[in-house]
């Protein structure tokens, strides 16, 4: 699921493939921009702003895209097979002599003047992965609606940019509160710590191929083997023996990458309570009823 860290990785791949190169092909497969031809122009840079992608092109143009739930950009060599999905899902193609960037299932794709980028991203709060990250304005925006559930407030990109549903669930678990707890009901000092943790987690994952929020591996005890079947009847001369108790198996170290997200009904890594799942604002939301306090559905 694209969030601030994976969008930044996408921007990096696109920048390495396109920046400084002249486009030999452009194909924007959305009705409004279907006739736009960017061929012959140089790509200046590709940057991420929260969960938005800005591809800046010679001549004062910016191609703005957003991946939302399942959009993706893939980069291929000229002779490489495209594997991002069927052809009817392609929304954009940008190519130069060495690379082809293909955008699949892009719900947002628009061409605008670079000087007007604020139309697309001006509403965003401070970018957790941006060079100008400042927690102060983010805290001010979060505190402005103390009655709002924490999970909804974290997802609102106008408060701070980059958090998606995975990080929402994981951050609430690490704060030991449910996503339905109002922002104003957080314990003193908890909100600044949570914002600091959000920035740390996204930065820790900005270069990782697989997102990880667990700090260390967890010691888990594997299930004991099933009890032996009852012993068959023995000859009368042989005294019956009590079935042997299964020997306890030692704990083994298992790497778990996420504490709660995607782990419904599985035991919590910290307390063993089954993880719960419910919708919050039409998004699947995971929490541990043993570790997290606060209201629930």
Residue with tokens 């990109």: 157
C-alpha to C-alpha distance for 44 and 270, rounded to whole angstroms:
47
The pair of structure tokens assigned to 166 is 């995975």
The model carries a pTM of: 0.85
**Could you tell me which of 145, 202, 141, 142 has the C-alpha nearest to residue 171?**
202
C-alpha to C-alpha distance for 291 and 270, rounded to whole angstroms:
8
Strand 218-220 to 252-254 pairing? antiparallel
Question: What's the pLDDT at 243?
Answer: 52
C-alpha to C-alpha distance for 90 and 187, rounded to whole angstroms:
47
C-alpha to C-alpha distance for 274 and 290, rounded to whole angstroms:
8
**Other beta carbons less than 10 A from residue 147's beta carbon:** 9
Is pLDDT above 80 for 245?
A: no
Of the pLDDT bands very low, low, confident and very high (cuts 50, 70, 90), residue 91 is very high
Strand 43-49 to 25-28 pairing? unpaired
Q: What Å distances lie between residue 282 and 107, 112, 151, 259, CA to CA?
A: 18, 31, 12, 21
Mean pLDDT of the chain: 90
Q: What is 65-123 written as a DSSP string?
A: EE-TTT-EEEEE-TTSPP-SS-GGGEEEEEE-SS-EEEEES-SEEEEEEGGGTHHHHTT
Catalytic (active-site) positions? 2-3, 51, 283
Q: What Å distances lie between residue 20 and 17, 50, 56, 139, CA to CA?
A: 9, 23, 11, 38
Question: What's the pLDDT at 2?
Answer: 87
Of the pLDDT bands very low, low, confident and very high (cuts 50, 70, 90), residue 232 is very low
Report, as an integer, the average pLDDT of 71-91.
97
The pair of structure tokens assigned to 99 is 């690379």
**Other beta carbons less than 10 A from residue 284's beta carbon:** 13
Of the pLDDT bands very low, low, confident and very high (cuts 50, 70, 90), residue 235 is very low
**Could you tell me which of 70, 16, 3 has the C-alpha nearest to residue 210?**
3
Q: Where are the alpha helices (DSSP H) in the chain?
A: 4-18, 118-121, 135-143, 150-155, 165-175, 190-204
Q: What is residue 233's DSSP assignment?
A: P
Q: What Å distances lie between residue 53 and 59, 82, 120, 129, 286, CA to CA?
A: 18, 21, 10, 13, 28
Q: How far is CA 203 from the centre of its chain?
A: 12
**Could you tell me which of 280, 203, 159 has the C-alpha nearest to residue 3?**
203
C-alpha to C-alpha distance for 48 and 59, rounded to whole angstroms:
20
Question: What's the pLDDT at 253?
Answer: 52
Query: pLDDT, tens digit, for every residue of 38-77?
Result: 999 999 999 999 999 999 999 999 999 999 989 999 999 9
For CA atoms 108, 114, 116, 119, give the dihedral sign. Answer: positive
């Amino acid at each position: 699921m694209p969030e601030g860290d994976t969008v930044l990785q996408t921007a990096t791949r696109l920048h390495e493939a396109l920046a400084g190169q002249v486009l030999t092909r452009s194909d924007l497969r959305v009705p409004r921009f279907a006739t736009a031809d960017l061929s012959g122009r140089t790509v200046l840079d590709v940057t991420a702003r929260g969960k938005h992608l800005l591809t800046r092109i010679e001549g004062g143009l910016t191609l703005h895209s957003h991946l939302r739930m399942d959009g993706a950009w893939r980069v291929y060599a000229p002779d490489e097979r495209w594997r991002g999905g069927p052809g009817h899902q392609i929304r954009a193609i940008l190519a130069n002599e060495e690379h082809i960037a293909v955008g699949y299932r892009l719900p947002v794709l628009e061409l605008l003047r670079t000087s007007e980028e604020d139309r697309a991203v001006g509403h965003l709060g401070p970018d957790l992965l941006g060079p100008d990250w400042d927690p102060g304005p983010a805290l001010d925006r979060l505190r402005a609606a103390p009655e709002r559930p924490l999970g909804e407030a974290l997802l609102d990109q106008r408060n701070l940019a980059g958090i998606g549903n995975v990080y929402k669930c994981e951050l609430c678990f690490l704060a030991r509160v449910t996503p339905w707890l109002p922002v104003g009901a957080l314990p003193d000092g908890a909100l600044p710590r949570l914002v600091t943790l959000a920035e740390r987690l996204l930065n820790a994952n900005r270069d990782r191929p697989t997102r990880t929020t667990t700090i260390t591996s967890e010691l888990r005890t594997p299930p004991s083997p099933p009890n032996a079947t009852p012993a068959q009847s023995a000859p009368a001369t042989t005294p019956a023996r009590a079935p042997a108790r299964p020997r306890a198996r030692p704990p083994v170290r298992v790497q778990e990458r996420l504490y709660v997200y995607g782990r419904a009904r599985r035991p919590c890594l910290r307390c063993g309570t089954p993880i719960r799942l419910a919708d919050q604002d039409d998004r699947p939301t995971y929490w541990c009823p043993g570790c997290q306090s606060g209201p629930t559905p």
